[in-house]
Each structure stands twice: as C-alpha cells, then as structure tokens.
Structure 1
Amino acid sequence: MQKNYDFIQTEGEMQKFWKENNIYAFDRESRREVYSIDTPPPTVSGNLHIGHIFSYAQAEMIARFKRMQGYNVYYPFGFDDNGLPTERLVEREEGIMARDLPEGEFIKKCAATAGKYEKEFRDLWEGLGFSVDWSLQYETINPMVRRISQKSFIRLFKEGKAYMKEAPVLWCAGCRTSIAQAELDTLEKDTAFNFILFTVGEERLTVATTRPELLYGCVCLFVNPRDERYKKYLGKNAQVPLYGHSIPVLADEKVDQDKGTGVVMCATFGDSTDVEWYEKHKLPFRRVIEPEGTISETVPVIGGLQIMEARKLIIRQLADRSLLTGSQNISHTVAVHERCGREIEIIPSRQWYIDILSNRDELLKAADRINWYPAHMKNRYILWVENLKWDWCISRQRYFGVPIPVWYCKNCGEPVTAGEEQLPVNPAETAPERACSCGCKDFITESSVFDTWATSSLSPQINAKWGEKDDMSGRLLPMSMRTQAHEIIRTWAFYTIVKSLYHTGEIPWKDIMICGYVLAKKGEKISKSKNNSGLSPAQLIETHSADVIRYWAANARLGTDTFFASDELAIAKRFITKLWNATKFAASHLQDFEPGTEITLLPVDRWIIESCRQMVSEAVKQLDRYEIGLARHEIDEFFWKDFCDYYLEIVKERLYQPDKHGYQERRSAQTALYFSMLNILKSYALYVPHITEYLYQEFFRQREGCISVHRLCWEKVGSIDKETIGFGEKLKAIISDTRRYKSENSLSMKAGMEKVVIECDGFYKAMFEKTTEDIKACCNAREVQVLNRYT
C-alpha cells in the first residue's frame, strides 16, 4: 500500500471499476428477496447544492446497507424534467418569457436545458459513488413515462375520479397557470386595512379590507350572527362605494368579530373564504382579475391596470370622495406560489381535477398502513389531509409537460379521451380514434398539460413499468421504501398515495424515509432559489473528496435539519486518515495469515471480536430504522475507541514480537485483527465506499474471493457473549486508569510502571491472568498482579 491515500486518483478508479463490473446492477434472474427504492426524481430547476447531497446520500447508504444484507436491490434514478420548474429555469437563464416565443421553439429550449442539467446531475451522483443501477434511469418527459401518465389519467377519468369543471381555481398570474393547494406557500407581508364606508339605507357601515381593488367584485357583506352590533343590518342591502351596485348583508359563523370592524367584504374572489361563501350562499360572480394579473377592462375606474396600481388608484378615489375613513398597517399571512413567490389569485377557469376530498377517510387510513421514519412525520401527512379544501387540480396552462390526452366535441362539448393504444399522444398532432357519442367527428384540442406532480406521483408505477411489456408490478409493488424530504409530504408523498390507492388499491411503499434540510443559518434552508449554498457539490468533492462529503452527510438523526460549513469536514478527513492507517497497520501484520484456521483465542482477542459483533448488531438495528447517523455513531465508537485506542495498543507487541509472546498468541491476535478490520471496512462501506473498496482490493479480496467489498454481506449476529464484553469493559478501565495516572503525574505514555494490580471478581480472574503479558506490554509495566476481589 502507498504511504498516503490519494482520493483524487482512487475515487475515479473505484467508480470505473464498479461500472465495468456492474457491481450495483439489479439482477432480474435472481430469486433473492427484492428491496426496491422509490427515489425522488430531482426537478430540473437549477444546480444541485449540499442540501441535495445530504438527503440523497442518506438514502443511497440504505441501498448499500440492504445490498450487504443479501437483498437484490432495485435502486433506480429519475429526473423530473417536465413542467413549470424547467420552464422557469429556461426563462431565467435565457432572459425570455415562454409566451413570447413560438410554442415549439420554447419546448426545444426546455428539452435542451433539461438534457444539459440531467447530465450534470448524473455526473454528480456518479462522482459521489452512488450505487444506482443507471440502466433503470427514467425522465418524466420520455415516451414511456408520458404513456404511463396519460394512461393513469384516462383510467381515472373512466372511473369517475378525474373530472373537468368550470370553477374558481387557484391561479398564479406570474406563471399564468392554475395551481394546486399543495403548491402554496405562505408569507408574512406588510399591508394595510383600509376602512371603507358602505351605505345601508340612511346609515353608513364601515368595512375593513386589505383588497380595495376588488370593490367592483363585491357581492355581499358578512357579519357574525352573534355580533350584536350588526344584527339590525341583516337582511338589508348595502350600496358598494364608487360603483353603486346593491349587495345583501348576510350572516356567517366564519366571520371573526374581532378582526377589522367585524364586517367582511365578500368579493369574487379575494381568498378561499370568498369561494366558500360564494358556493355556500349561492352568490353571483363579478369578474375583476384577469389571468395575466390585470384588472378586467370592464371594471370602471381601474380597468386594465396592474393589481398594485389599481389598489393605489382606488384608495385615492375613495379618499377624494370621503369614503375612506382611515387605514391601519398590519402584517398578515398571504398565500404565494411556491415556484415564483407571487401572491395567488382565485379566478374562474375550466380545469381538470382528481377527486380527493370524497376519499379523505381512505387516504387517512393509508397512513396507518405505511411505516413512517421518523414516526412523527406521519402527523404532517394527517394534518395535510384533514385540512384539504380543494380537489387536486392537475391541469396547467403551460408548454413543456405531458399533454392531457383529450379532445372536445365541437357539437356537444363532451370530452373524448385517447385510446390507450394511441399513447403517448399529443392531441394537437393526432385526432381521436372514434367519433363523439353524439356522432360528431369534429373536435377542439385540449391545450393544457398535466401538473408535473400528476406524473411524478406515479414514480412507483414508472419504476415497475406499469402496463408496459416488461411490467414488474407484481415483483416491485408496493415498493420497499420511499425516500424524500419533509417539505414534499403534502405533494409527492400525498399524491403518490392517492394514485397508488386509486390504481392498485394498495399503498405505494411499505416504508417512507423522511430526510431533513441543510440550513444556511437558523431557520433558513439552503435552496436553489436563495443561492445560499456556498461551494457547489462538484467543488466540494474536488476539494475534499466524495467520501469526506458522504461521511459528513451521515451526521444527524433522520428527519432533523443540520448546518453545513466547510470546516466541519475536518472530522471526516481525520477519520479517512485513521481508517487508512489502521488498515495499513493491520495488513502489514496479516501478510502471512490465512483466514479460516481454527485456533484457541486469547481473552482480549475474543473480546474485540465480540465487541465488533455487538457493533454490527447495534448498527443493523439503527439502519433498519433508517437512522444512518446513529448507526455511524455505533461504528465510530467501536472503531475509534475499542479497536484503535485500546485493542491495537494492547496487541501491538504481541504482533511485532512473536518470539517473545509466542506464535500461537500472535495467530490469535491475527485472527481477531482480520475479523475486526474486515468488518470495519464492511460497516463503513455504506458511508465511504471508495476508500473501503480500495482497501479491500489491496488486501482482502484475494483472501475473501469476492469481487467487491460491496458484494459482501454483513455478519449475521446472534447472541452476544456478555461475559466477554464485560471483561473488555474492565480491561479498558484498567488501561484508562494507567493512562490517567501517567498523565496526572506528567509522565510519558511510554514511561515504565513498576506494578499494575488488578482486583476482579473470581469469574474474570482467569481471563485477566491470560492477559497479563498484553497488559504489561500496553502499560509498560514490569509486573501485573491479579487479585480476587473477595479474598
């Protein structure tokens, strides 16, 4: 072995070795139990950052763990390249707007950009040593995935679970598309309550609103039925200031008596409460906001203006007419589009939906059939489902997406879907295979595309190639595990459960592993949009090594957020050096050792083997719960303390001086050293695959006969010899005491000692008597005396 570890050369060589030998390929012919992983296909919306490494690397370590537990691991990777994130990236990078280009030209730009970033993403994952079977790669815009996505919609439509309606919809005027409830974020914004005078007969009624630009759209005033101040107005009509139309004053329990003046203006539409009242009280509709975010030209005074311009003008007009009694600055929560941060509008529009509200109970029960790790993350899912207000809107008025496979009859307007044999289909380029049920053969094309979640929610079906010639649904579904971040429980996890229940009646996966964030500072996660990630992952790997980054990524409990700074990598670098030196030391003393030889082990050698087995057992318990960080802690504790700090120091002289200590005694140490070092490498192979593979190839491969350390299985640990473990703990305490004595007396650790006296229970006396020579050598003591504590 070379003197120092060269990660730059070695990591590339190991990755080439894995690829050339298909080390991580899923074996379709194997009868071994399959462990399948549903990995999040990253959205093509910009460069990856350390936060992605943190979560994706944790899941990749589970893939390695399960492979080394004997499973036939199905570990695919996909890219979520269709939809608004990719479009926004293209617009941002090229300084264009999609609506200003011919549709075909913009779609080509999206495809080219997606291809460029997907290559960068894959290069990064390969550079991190991800054990992905890249032959299973998919993209959410490719023909197979489009076919599966469109098939899903057609089947849901035929079953009555997908439907189209004209209704108020959440709308982003910036992106000019409908959105779903799950795509909302909330922000605290400073605004003002404007106190406006409405007329009720001869009296004035003051209404507080943050959206005076919607006055023309006001269709009702609401008060709480228990509010004594306003009972006399119920059943009467009010006149809307500036516009003069008459609206009723009605009662509703939802009105907060303590907010504003206790009188609420219902406009079509200011927020979701307006929609609720509109539908509950059968109110009329008055159009104000247009899809592009301007005021409708039909609205007097402010028609054609942008919303904020209209707000300022309407306030001036009200003030000039003494209809504005004042304003109050407030901070309130507003709903914004998670993709662009613009405040959401609600406008009527014809959209496609998937019914989820009527199946709320079934969706809640599904949570109990899935194992959530950490368990408390299930509560986020439950709260989301319990608070759903809208069915899932799946249509988007965008370009680079999976087309909705529908045409509309010119005669009767009924939707006609494509036949499954036509899929994938673009309705703009292909005609329906059949006439409408009314006999008409002329159709209008549906121009909308699916929301990207409508496709990525099918990732288990995509992985299983649902309905394709090589369909593996029976073998892969439900998948073993889904890994994802906690902020997309409401989207990816929820939507996947919806689709799986609707299509198969089963949960999509048995386990769900929820990872945390990497924080740039307290309360602020590292993200593409905030550009707060510092060095890029590629730069971090080039500077520090993939294994160092991976080791750092396994530093936290599952589901918890963590901070990142480059100086935190120093611990990982010290570990790499320690592992290199420990293995180099072990290999130097094992050149003449052949594993498998029967020998009677000395107590200290039995102890390190039992301690190693115990470490493996505890690590398995943690990894079975997806606690990568806690498992690494167990391995670290054994490697740094039991193995390096104590065992190697105890047996060092016995290994170096067989003439003094005996060749059988040296063979005993070699047996324990070989077992421990090999299992240390196997245990760390999850975390630092490159250096462990290199060390395995350099020494252990020729003795083990297996092509790769990553093809080996971990020890199957049964019962642990607790007495031997107890002996080891007492032995460590003795060594520690002698070290403390020397330190407190300002002596070198190599300084000699006249005598070490050991008092122990009778059970351990014989074990210590067989260990006196090792203790002498370790402590540099002339004499070791073992006394029975009770004599």
Structure 2
Amino acid sequence: MQKNYDFKQVEKEMQNFWKENSIYRFDMDSQNKIYSIDTPPPTVSGSLHIGHIFSYTQAEMIARFKRMQGFNVFYPFGFDDNGLPTERLVEKDEGIIAKNLPRSEFITKCITTTERYEKEFKDLWQSLGFSVDWSLQYETINPMVQRISQKSFIRLLEDGKAYMKESPVLWCTECQTSIAQAELETIDKDTTFNYIEFKVDGEKLMVATTRPELLYGCVCLFVNPDDDRYKEYVGKSAIVPLYNYPIPILSDEKVSIEKGTGVVMCATFGDSTDVKWYETHNLPYRKVILSDGTIDESVPFIGGLKVIAARKQIIKLLSDNGMLIDSKNITHTVAVHERCGKEIEIIPSKQWYIDILSNKELFLKAADKINWYPAYMKNRYTLWVENLKWDWCISRQRYFGVPIPIWYCKQCSKVILASEEMLPINPLETNPNKPCSCGCNEFISESSVFDTWATSSVTPQINGKWREENDISSKLLPMSMRTQAHEIIRTWAFYTIVKSLYHTGEIPWKDIMICGFVLAKKGEKISKSKSNSELSPSVLIEKHSADVIRYWAASSKLGTDTFFSIEELGIAKRFITKLWNASKFAISHLHDIDLGADIDLMPVDRWIIERCKQTVFEVTRLLNQYEIGSARHEVDDFFWKDMCDNYLEIVKERLYQPEKRGYKERQSAQHALYYCMLNILKLYAIYVPHITEYIYQEFFRRIEDNISLHKSCWENVAFIDNEIIVFGDQLKAVIAETRKYKSENALSMKTEIDEVIIKSDTRFVEMFRQTICDIKACCSANGIKIIS
C-alpha cells in the first residue's frame, strides 16, 4: 500500500468498479429476503445543498447495512420533477412567467430544465458512492408514473373517495393556484387591530379587525352566547360602515370573549373560521378578493387595488369619516404558502378533492402499525391528523404536472373519466374514446393538473409498478422502510399512508426513518430558498472527499438537527488517515498469514476478537433502530481506543520480533489482527465505502470469497465471552496507569521502568501471566509483578 491515501484516484476507481460489476443491482430472482427502501424523490426546484447530503446519506448507509446483513436490497431513486416547485425554478432560471407563454412552449422549457438538474443530482449522488440500483430510477413526470398517478385518481373517484366541488379553497395569489392545508406555514407578522364603528338601531357597536379591506364582504357579526354584554344584540341587524347595508348579528361559541371587543366580523373569506360559519349558518357569499390578489372591480372605493393598498385606503376612509375609533399595533400569526411565502387567501373555486376528514381514525390507527424512528416523531403525525380541517385539495391551476384525466360533457356537464387503457393521457390533447351517455360528442377538457404530492404519494406503488405489466407489488409492498425529513411528515408521510390505505388496505411501509436538518446558524435551516447554502456539495466532495462528507453525515442522533462547518470535517480527515495507517500496518504483518493453522490464541488476542464481536453486536442493534450516529460512535470507540491505542501497541513486538517472542505467538497476533481489521472494514464500509473497499481489494480480496467488501456479510454474533472482555478492561487500566505515571513524571513513553505491579482478580491471574511479555513490551518495563 502506498504511503498516503489518494482519495481523488481511489473514489472514482471504486465507483467504476461497483458499476462494472453491478455490485448494487437488485436481484429479482434471489431467494434472500427483500429489504425495500422508499426514498424521497428530491424536488427539482434548485441545486442540492449540504442538508440534502446529510439526510440522503444517512438512509444510504442503512441500504449498505441491510445488504451486509444478507438482504436482497431494493434501493431505487426518483426525481420529483413536476408541479409548482419546478415551474418556479424554470421561471427563475429562464427569466420568464409561465402564464405569458403558450402552455406547450413552457412545458418544453420545464422538461429541458429538469433533465439538466436531474443529471446534476444523479452525478452528485454517484460521486458520494450511493449504492443505488439506477436501473430502478423514475421521474414523476415520466409516462409510467403519470399512468400510475392517473390510475390512482380514477380508482379513488370510482370508490367515492375523490370528488369535485365548488367551495371556499385555500388560494395562493402569487402562484395563482389552489393549495392544500399541508402546504401552509405560519409566520408572525406586524399589523394593526382596527376598531371600527358599526351601527345597531342607531347606536354604536365596536368591532375589531385586522382585515378592514373585507368590509364589503362582511355578511354577519358574531358574539359569544355567554357574553352578557351583547346578548340583547343577537337577532338584530347591524349596518356595515362605509357600505351602509344591513347584516345579521348571530351567536357562536367559537367567538372569543376576551379578544378584541368580543364582536367578530365574518367576511367571505378572511380565515377558516369564516368558512366554517359560512357553511354552518348558511350565510351568503360576497365577492371581494380575486384569484390574482386584486379587489374585484365592483367593490366601491377599492376595486382593482391589491390587498395591502386596499387595506390602507379603507383605513383612511374610515378615519376620514370618523368610523375608525382606535388602531393598535399587534403581532399576529398568519398563514403563508410554503413555496413563496405569500399570505394565502380563501376564495370560492371548483376543485378536486380526496376525502380525508371522514377517515381520520383510520389514519391514526395506521400510525400505530408503523415503527417510527425516532419514536417521538409519531406524535407529529398524530397531531397533524387530529387537527385536519380541510379535505385534501389535489387540483392545481398550473401547467407542468400530471394532467387530471377528466372531460366534461358540453351538453349535460357529466364528468367523463378516461379509461385505464388510454393512460397516460392529457385531456387537452385527446378526446374520450366514446360519446357521453347523453349522446353528445363535444367535451370540455379539464385544464388543471395534480398537485405534485398527489403523485409522489404513490411512490410505493411506483416502485412496485402497481397494476403495470411487470407489477412486483406483491414482492415489495408494504415496503420495508421509508426515509424522509421531519418537515414533510404532514405531507409526504401522511399522503402516502392515505393513498396506500385507500388502494391496498395496508400500510405503505413497516418502518419510517425520520432525519433531521442541517442548520446554517442557530434555528435556521439550510435551504435552496435561503442564501445560506454557499458551500456546494460537489465542491466539498472535490476538495475533501466523499468519504469525509459521509463520515460527517453520520455524526448525530437520528432525527436531531445539526450544524455544519468546514472545521468539523477535520475529525473525518484524521479518521481517514488513521484507518489508512492502521490498515497499512496490519497488512504489512499479514502477508504470510496461515489462516488454516491450529493456534491457541493468547489472552490479549482473544480479548480484541471478543471486543470486536461485542462491537459488531451493539452496532447491529443500533442500526436496526436506524441510529446511524450512535452506531458509528461505537465503531469509533473500538477502533481508536481498543484497536489502535491499545491492541496494536501491545502486539507490536510479537509481530516484529517472532524470533524473540515466538512464531506461534506471532501467528496468534496475526489471526486476531486479520479478524479485527477485516471486521473493522466491514463495520466502516457503510460509512466510508471507498477507502474500505480499496483496502479490501488491496489485500483481503486475495483470501476472501467475495468480489466486493460490500457483498460480504457481517458476522452474526450469537455469543460474547464477557469474562475475557473484563480482563481486557483491567489490562487497559494497567497500561493507562503506566502511561499516566510516565506523563506525570515527564518521562518518554519509551523510557524503561523497573517494575509494574498488577493487582488482579484471582480469575485473571493466569491470563495476566500469559500476557507478561506483551505488558513488558508495551510499557517498557523490566519486570511485572502480579498480586492476586
């Protein structure tokens, strides 16, 4: 082995070796138990950053671990390349606005852009040494996926779980599309609480509101039935200021007696409570805000203005007319669209929905059947389901997405479903294959597309090629594990559970592994949308190596957020150097090893082998719980402290001077060294696959049967000799005390000392006697005295 490790040469060489030998290909004919992974298809919405590396690499380590446990690993990769996030990327990259281009031209630009980014993504994952079977790759816009997505919708519609209705819907005026509850984020925003004077029977009634621009849409005032101040007003009419039309005063328990004046304005629509009152009390609708965020032209005083400008204008008019009694600055929580950060509105619109509200109990019970790692993440899911207020709106008024396979009869307005044989289909380009039941042959095409989550929620079905010619769902579903970040529990995890239960009656996967975020500074996530991801992963890999980045990615406990800084990579670099040097030392003493020799192992050699077994056992246990970071720390502890700091120092003389110490004694050390170094490589293989494979190929491949280290299996440890491990602990204590004595007396570690006195339990006296020569050599001691 060369003196220094050259990662630039080795990593590319190993990646080519894996590819040429199909090391990670899923074997459809294997009899081994399948371990299938539902990997999040990264959204094509910009370049990847170190946060993506962190979470995706942790999951990739589990794929490697399971493969080395003897599983037939199904590890695909996909790209979520349709929908609003991709459209916004294309608009930004191209400097265009989608609505200003012909639909077909914009879609062409989307396809070109996604292909470029997907190549960049794939190159990055491959440069990290991901053990993905790339023959299983999919894109959410490709024909097979479109077909499965459309098929899913048709089945749900036929089962009565999908429906269309015109009703108030969450709407983003920036993206100009409907959105789902899961796409909302809340932020704190400074605004004013405006105290406005309504009139009841000629007398003043004060109402406080943060949205005076909706005065024209005011359809009712509400008070709490237990509020004694306003009981006499219930049933009367109030006059809306500036617009002078009457509205009823009603009571409802949802009104907070303490907030504002205790009288609440219900407008169509200020928030979800307004929607609930509108439906519950059968209130009329008054149009104010349009889909583009402007006020309808028919609204006096503010028609045509944007919301903020309209708010300022109404406040001025109220003030000028003596109707604004007070105004207080407050900070309140508002809902914004997670994609663009714009405050959402609620407007009536005809949309397609999936019924989720009527099956909340079903979704909660499903969570109990899934193993959550970490376990506390299940609570986030439960809270989300319990607090759902809206059915899942799956239609979007956008361009680059999976088309909704629907037409409407021009004569009778009946919904016409595409037949499954026609899928995938774009109703804007194709007509139904038969007339409507009323005999009409003219149709109106549905122009909306599916929300991107409506498609990515069927990734288990995509992986299983659900109801396709080469369907392998029966082999894969439910999948073994889903990996994802905690921020999309409410979307990807929840929606996938919904679709799986509706289509198969089963949970989508047995385990769910929830990864944390990488933070740029305290409390701030690194993301594409923030200017805090300057450190390009490709540059980091080029400069520091893939294995160094991977080792760093396995630093923390599962589900916890971590910080990233270049300085932290220094630990990983020191480790790579240590592993290289330790392996080089070991191999230099193993060229003449006879693994078939009949050898009585010396106590120190028995100890290091048992410690190795103990480490394999504990690391296996942790990785079966997806604790990648804790498992790596266990391996580190064994490698650095027991193997390098102690064992290699103890057996050096035996290895270098067999003529002095004996050839059988050297063979004993060789066997322990071979066993431990091979198993250390196996343990570290999931974390740093390139250097471990290279070392394996340099020496161990000549002796071992497996073509690749990553095709070999970890030892199935059934028994650990705890007695010899306790002996090893006492031996380490002897060496540590000797080193401490020399350090405190400013002596070199090589300085000879007269005698080391060992106080030992009776049961270890003989082991210490057999180890006297090793202790003498390691401690540079002239004599060893053992006291029972």
Q: Shared fold by TM > 0.5? A: yes
Correspondences of 1:53-64 after superposition (within 5 Å): 53-64=53-64
> How far 1:351 sits from its partner (Å)?
0.1
Aligned equivalent of 1:307: 307
Partner of 1:642: 642
- For 2:328 and 2:733, how far apart are their aligned partners in 1? 70
Match of 2:465 in 1: 465
In structure 1, give the amino acid aligned to 2:548: V
What CA deviation, in whole Å up to 9, does each residue of 1:684-727 have, x standing for no partner? 00000000011001011011031110000001101110100011
Q: Which residue does 1:212 correspond to in 2?
A: 212
State the Cα RMSD in Å. Answer: 0.7
Query: Any conservation in 2 of the 1:646–1:732 contact (CA below 8 Å)?
Result: yes
Deviations 1:242-298 (A, max 9, x none): 111110011111111111111110000000000011001110000001001100111
Q: Percent identity?
A: 72
Separation in structure 1 between the aligned mates of residue 63 and residue 211 of structure 2, nearest angstrom? 52
Instruction: For 2:129 and 2:414, locate their aligned partners in 1 and report how far apart those are by CA, in whole Å.
Output: 52
- The CA distance in 2 between the partners of 1:414 and 1:724, in whole Å, is 79
Which residue in the other structure is 1:264 paired with?
264
2:165 alignment partner AA: K
Aligned residues of 1:35 and 1:66 also touching (Cα < 8 A): yes
Residue correspondence of structure 1 range 174-323 to structure 2 within 5 A:
174-323=174-323
Give the distance between the partners of 1:597 and 1:679, measured in 2 at CA.
Answer: 20
Deviations 1:659-693 (A, max 9, x none): 00000000000000000000000000000000001
Pairing 1:158-177 to 2, within 5 Å after superposition: 158-177=158-177
Amino acid across the alignment from 1:87: E
Structure 2 alignment gaps of length 5 or more: none
Tell me by how many angstroms 1:751 deviates.
Answer: 0.5
Alignment of 1:537-548 (within 5 A): 537-548=537-548
More displaced, 384-393 or 750-759?
750-759
Q: Which residue of 1 aligns with 2:420?
A: 420
Read off the aligned partner of 2:242 and give its amino acid letter. Answer: L
Partners of 1:582 and 1:608 lie apart in 2 by 15
- Runs of 4+ aligned structure 1 residues displaced above 6 Å come to none
- Partner in structure 1 of residue 782 of structure 2: 782
Instruction: Name the counterpart of 1:392.
Output: 392
Cα distance in 2, alignment partners of residues 549 and 764 from structure 1: 43
Q: Which amino acid aligns with 1:216?
A: Y
Alpha-carbon distance in structure 2 between the residues aligned to 1:320 and 1:598? 103
The answer to whether the 8 A contact 1:167-1:350 is kept is: yes
CA deviation map 1:537-576 (0-9, x unaligned): 0011011100000000000000000000000000000000
* SS of 2:258 mapped into structure 1: coil
Q: Which amino acid aligns with 1:591?
A: H
Q: Aligned partners of 2:598 and 2:192: how far apart in 1?
A: 84
3-state SS of 2:495 partner: helix
1:511-550 map, 5 Å: 511-550=511-550
1:391-420 per-position Cα deviation (integer Å, ceiling 9, x unaligned): 000000000000000000112212111000
Q: Which moved more, 1:525-534 or 1:140-149?
A: 525-534
1:764 aligns with 2:758: no
User: Where do 1:676-695 residues align within 5 Å?
Assistant: 676-695=676-695
How many angstroms apart in 1 are the aligned matches of 2:693 and 2:520?
Answer: 33
Matched residues, number: 788
* Counterpart residue number, 1:139: 139
**Aligned-partner residue type, residue 469 of structure 1:** E
Per-residue deviation, residues 333-357 of structure 1 (Å, max 9, x unmatched):
0000000000000000000000000
User: Counterpart in 2 of 1:478?
Assistant: 478
Q: What amino acid is the match of 2:570?
A: A
Contact 1:224 1:253 in 2 (8 A): yes
**Distance in 2 (alpha carbons) for counterparts of 1:361 and 1:241:** 45
* 1:341-420 alignment, distance < 5 Å: 341-420=341-420
Answer with 476-485 or 97-106: which moved more: 97-106
* CA–CA separation in structure 2 for the residues paired with 1:178 and 1:216: 23
Partner Cα separation in structure 1 for residue 394 and residue 706 of structure 2:
50
Output the CA distance in 1 between the equivalents of 2:595 and 2:144.
Answer: 50
SS at match of 1:350: strand
Aligned equivalents of 2:232, 2:96: Cα separation in 1: 56
1:434, distance to aligned residue in structure 2 (A): 2.5
User: Matched residues in 1 for 2:541 and 2:248: separation?
Assistant: 66
Distance in 2 separating the partners of 1:579 and 1:531: 36
| Rounded Cα–Cα distance in structure 2 between residues aligned with 1:697 and 1:207 | 78
Which amino acid counterpart does residue 96 of structure 1 have in structure 2?
A: I
Q: Do the aligned partners of 1:367 and 1:378 also contact (CA within 8 Å) in 2?
A: yes
* Letter paired with 1:380: R
Distance in 1 (alpha carbons) for counterparts of 2:595 and 2:299: 88
The corresponding residue for 1:703 is 703
Alignment pair present for 1:734 and 2:734: yes
The equivalent residue for 2:28 is 28
Q: Residue 408 of structure 1: SS of its match in structure 2?
A: strand
Pairwise CA distance, 1:230: 1.1
Question: What is residue 599 of structure 2 aligned with on the other side?
Answer: 599
Q: Could you tell me how far apart the structure 2 residues matched to 1:596 and 1:273 are?
A: 78
Give me the whole-angstrom Cα distance separating, in 2, the residues matched to 1:768 and 1:233.
94
Gaps of 5+ in 1: none
Is the partner of 1:372 in helix, strand or coil? strand
In the alignment, the residues of structure 2 paired with residue 433 and residue 598 of structure 1 have an alpha-carbon distance, to the nearest angstrom, of 79
**Contact map agreement 1:44 1:81 (CA 8 A) in 2:** yes
Normalised to the residue count of structure 2, the TM-score between the two structures is 1.00
> 1:407-436 CA distances to partner (integer Å, 9 max, x unpaired)?
001122121110000000000111112222
Indicate if the aligned counterparts of 1:595 and 1:703 stay in contact, CA closer than 8 A.
no
Asked if the contact 1:40–1:484 (Cα under 8 Å) also holds between the matched residues in 2, the reply is: yes
Q: How many angstroms apart in 2 are the aligned matches of 1:2 and 1:245?
A: 89
Q: How does 1:745-756 map to 2 (within 5 A)?
A: 745-756=745-756
Match of 2:4 in 1: 4
* Counterpart in the other structure of 2:675: 675
Shift of 1:439: 2.8
Amino acid at match of 2:721: D
State the SS of the aligned residue for 1:255.
Answer: coil
Residue of structure 1 in register with 2:655 after alignment: 655
Aligned to 1:13: 13
The aligned counterpart of 1:586 is 586
1:758 shift after superposition? 1.2
Matched letter for residue 300 of structure 1? P
Which amino acid is 2:289 matched to? I
How far apart, CA to CA, are the structure 1 residues paired with 2:759 and 2:240?
Answer: 95
One-letter amino acid of the counterpart of residue 493, structure 1: A
Inter-partner Cα distance in structure 2 for 1:516 and 1:355:
31
1:39, 1:76 within 8 Å by CA — same for their partners in 2? yes
Over 3 Å counting, the alpha-carbon distance change for 1:596 and 1:169 in structure 2 is farther
* Aligned residue type for 2:312: K
Aligned pair 1:78/2:78, yes or no? yes
The answer to whether the 8 Å contact 1:594/1:703 transfers is no
